[in-house]
Chain A
Amino acid sequence: METQYHRPASVAEAAKLLAGEARLLAGGQSLVAAIKLGLASPSSLVDLRGIAGLDGIRVDAQRVSVGAMATHASVAASKEVARAIPALAQLAAGIGDRQVRACGTIGGSLANNDPAACYPAAVLGLGASVQTDQRQIAADDFFLGMFETALRPSEIITAVHFPIPERAAYEKFHQPASRFSLVGVMVAKTGGGVRVAVTGAGSCVFRCKALEVALTRKFAPESCDGVPVDASGLNDDLHGSAAYRAHLIPVLAKRAVARALG
């Protein structure tokens, strides 16, 4: 089957091209691999890389706004991001390898919502909101399940807005082969309370309420000790049982808190 390739110059034009089996192409780090393996065969590809202004990063006193087409490398390298939310720059710097970071984008990662991706933990843990060409979606409403988000078929992410937390840190434990997160934990102390988001452990990024309660009581590493995390429903594969992943969540949260305070 032939795949049509489009390179629109604006978001509006891109939206018009989204029909049938069309897929948006951002950095191509998941989609292109899927196409090569025969796991995806889109009727057309709508390449967002020709649209100017989607890759900017803006920081003000309240928030960090990252354009959907900003690469992981640019977020990792941004001094403004590193000053405002060091955890976010550090998370971006730990995604994939150098090539992935040079091409992969935040918008692509979020729209794909891989269960072991890092960015969903940042968005959920920091309580960000996802800006699309149609609306703003709160992080808590965005991630619906494995590779599933609240995005409508014709909707295009344009930016992500991260409120600046008091403190935050991300702790990633590698799956040894892929180096995706076996478990990744983002801990953030925000004006609205403590948020703990976990990626890699389940079918979709999730908040760990037990740890949030413990850390709201006292935002200190030892608060994570002995916090029970239910293993049921967590991933169980070659690289770790559900029990192992459940065990790692408070261990990593504790380290993240120590780092956030450090």
Chain B
Amino acid sequence: MGAPGLIGRSIERKEDYRFLTGRGQYTDDIVLPNQSYGVFVRSQHAHARLRGVDTAKAARAPGVLGIITGKDMAAVGSLPCGWLIHSLDGTPMKEPKHPVLAEDKVRYVGEAIALVVADTLLQARAAAALVEVDYDPLPAVARTATAAQAGTAVHDQAPNNVCFTWGCGDKSAADAAFARAAHVTTMEYVNNRLIPNAIEPRAANAGYSRADDSYTLYVANQNPHVERLLMTAFVLGLPEHKVRVVAPDVGGGFGSKIFLYAEETALVWASKRIGRPIKWTAERSESFLSDAHGRDHVTRAELALDKDGKFLGLRVHTTANVGAYLSTFGSCVPTILYGTLLSGQYATPAIYCEVQAVFTNTAPVDAYRGAGRPEATYLVERIVEMAARELKIDPAELRRRNFVRTFPFASPVGLTYDTGDYEATLARAQKIADVDGFAARRAASAGKGLLRGIGYSCYIEACGLAPSNIAGALGARAGLYEAAEVRVHPTGKVTVFTGSHSHGQGHETTFSQVVAARLGIPFEDVDIQHGDTAKVLFGMGTYGSRSLAVGGTAIVKAVDKIIAKGRKIAAHLLEASDADIEFSGGEFRVVGTDRKKAFAEIALTAYVPHNYPLDKLEPGLNENAFYDPTNFTYPAGSYICEVEVDPATGQVRVDRFTACDDFGNVVNPMIVEGQVQGGVAQGLGQALLEACRYDEEGQLLSGSYMDYAMPRADDLPSVKVETLAGTPCTHNPLGVKGCGEAGAIGSPPAVMNAITDALTSLGVRDVPMPASPYAVWTAIQAAAKH
């Protein structure tokens, strides 16, 4: 595959020079000529009728250029949801209007009510404080578990606050499995609500040009083409080709920057009316209130086993909070990306899952690193471990008895795993984690008055959501392919335009390795461009660990077209037939001879076509490709966590954490390890620290870092990460699977299994996430009373 050693090498990230030396260009760094600044007036009530929004005083404040309210924008469309889910009874999900700016009602604290635009940010801020909002407060629906019985409707058109009741799997088969079970393990869980907290808050800068009636939007976003399509076609009714969306350097997304938000939509709309470009950058407190949150499930699950510990069936009922409005992918996260993962690594023959999605007076809930798959993995890996404890079977052994061992494997919840080797990652993880030494370590901890526990998690992930036709049949309102353009310049240098946006993933390096290896040219000769609808032909963007598997494959397809055309040019120059030309190591060669042409010579010939088959071949060397995968990819791995719990305070210390993954082929091991390390940190954050909490009135209690605990370096152990040579994906040419979310998916159950293992001797069965000292102590107290 060309230049030796480029694939599988930890090449330093080429983008890091600009990031580490402050030369990145983020949305807030961009200042346009005649720049003005926007500040949003946000709801202070979780649920209220809007009696009026009085902007008169604010409009007279110094520097104010204009104030936009929901009334002004009433004619524009609803912020759309990208996935139509149907309820079990066949009815479509309830999809109430999601206005850009609140109209008659506000439905969560932080909902945008008005946009104030002024010459300077301080003027806009001062004027925003003068906007008088007349609220008629209504009772709020703040709790996921009881939203359907709340007696207050978030939306009149959604009775009992139910958005949909979705199901997957075979109910009667599952019921039959339980009827013949020797043992049933039951668990109830809350998958704690999280706030994404990308280091760069959301930001947008929108301008309108009267010269050519066009708009340019700079926005911190993970998928600029999707942003443009949704905004122009569904909300504002603008001509798509007259809107350019640029997502420049973006400081982390984790899902929260996939979605089309109210703020950038209002900015684009207002930029024409105001006649000046308008910039808005969220303050951190706005991010807490208005970024789409993650998780927030309340679940009851039952696992049926036979007398030998073989899984017979799994039944799941989940209530999923979608927040006050359906965000862009709010409906598919707790359904398509959740129910389909409930088989995990196991050959569970019968599964049935029902999900009731509820509206509440809280911020919209949508994809957050893992998106549905962490919730599924948490459920499966906790209940499997619990069953092992109840049956007094070693938890690794119980897993082994139930692993899928033959591939392809068609799960009872609709997925077909193409390949995997779950035994390999588990066995290796046990060795790295020194499971054999655990008993001695536990005794040593006991000597210090500490309780030591060990916990496993054998996760599976489905990445690169695909294919488009099946997704369409399941309700997707978009395609799930990726696009690429490979532009070879006359000197043989290459610019690649990809629809996969990079906001921390290292695409500029990984994709360069792939292209340079395949073309047999130096790594430095490849440049990767992304994030600009004016440059890139199309893109579905970056989410769901899809970039290399889907975006990378699109690039490979375009590269292969380049090679095919180069072969024709070479055949002409070498006076041979196309079929006799082979390409390797950056050279086109007549098979079995030393007659050859270097890649750069072919490129030059394509652009200086003096000796060229002009009658048969166009000049130039530039190719596009779209790739629509035939299946998901299925990364998997085994994580083992060991904790020490201080029973006197409830403090948990993660002593060691081992992650052993199978991502198929690996292009850049350093970047992959970075993804796993970061993902595990995020998962440990969910397990131990992070909790988004609203009070009964729907006020956000955890609205700043004073109360929302993000993991700090000293909260984390030194995570041991090992990526096995693994089982290459069978249906993409790179054999890659995706690694972006694994850490966040696999780690929470390992941590919680370890904590509950440590506390078993005190009679504690479960601890809720996050396992803060207070939560652990409370669980110990409750067990002591029992």
Contacts and interface: CB of A to CB of B under 8 A. Distances in A.
A228 to B, nearest CB: 16
B31 interface: no
Contacts of B693: 238
B648 A178 contact: no
Nearest to B707: A177
B705 A178 contact: yes
B649 A238 contact: no
A177 B706 contact: yes
Interface stretch (B467-475, B625-633, B747-755, B773-781): B773-781
A227 B777 CA distance: 18
Interface string A230-244: 000000001111001
Interface in A218-262: 238-241, 244, 247-248, 251
Interface in B712-739: none
B130 to A, nearest CB: 14
B701 interface: yes
Contacts of B53: none
A241 B649 contact: no
Interface in B627-651: 648-649, 651
A176 B707 CA distance: 8
Main secondary structure of the interface of B (DSSP, over half): loop
Contacts of A173: 649, 651, 773
A241 B701 CA distance: 15
A176 B705 contact: no
B705 to A, nearest CB: 6
Contacts of A178: 705-707
Interface size class of B (residues with CB under 8 A): 10 to 19
B709 interface: yes
B777 A247 contact: yes
Contacts, number: 38
Interface in A170-200: 173, 176-178, 182
Nearest to B715: A176
A90 B559 CA distance: 61
B44 to A, nearest CB: 14
Nearest to B695: A238
* Most-contacted residue by chain B among A173, A176, A238, A251 (CB, 10 A): A176
Contacts of B649: 173, 248, 251
Given A238-B693, A251-B648, A177 B708 contact: yes
A182 B707 CA distance: 12
B677 to A, nearest CB: 21
B678 to A, nearest CB: 20
Contacts of A244: 774, 777-778
A173 B650 CA distance: 11
Contacts of B777: 244, 247
A255 to B, nearest CB: 9
Interface string B697-711: 000011001111110
Interface string B303-341: 000000000000000000000000000000000000000
A241 B774 CA distance: 8
Interface of A: 173, 176-178, 182, 238-241, 244, 247-248, 251
Given A177-B707, A244-B778, A251-B649, 11 more contacts: A177-B702, A177-B705, A177-B709, A177-B710, A178-B705, A238-B693, A238-B707, A241-B778, A244-B774, A247-B777, A251-B648
30 contacts: A173-B651, A176-B709, A176-B772, A176-B773, A177-B689, A177-B702, A177-B705, A177-B706, A177-B707, A177-B709, A177-B710, A178-B706, A178-B707, A182-B773, A238-B691, A238-B693, A238-B701, A238-B702, A238-B707, A239-B707, A239-B772, A239-B774, A240-B773, A241-B774, A241-B778, A244-B777, A244-B778, A248-B649, A251-B648, A251-B649
> Which 9 A-B residue pairs are closest in the complex by CB-CB distance?
A177-B709, A176-B709, A178-B706, A240-B774, A251-B648, A177-B707, A244-B774, A176-B772, A176-B689
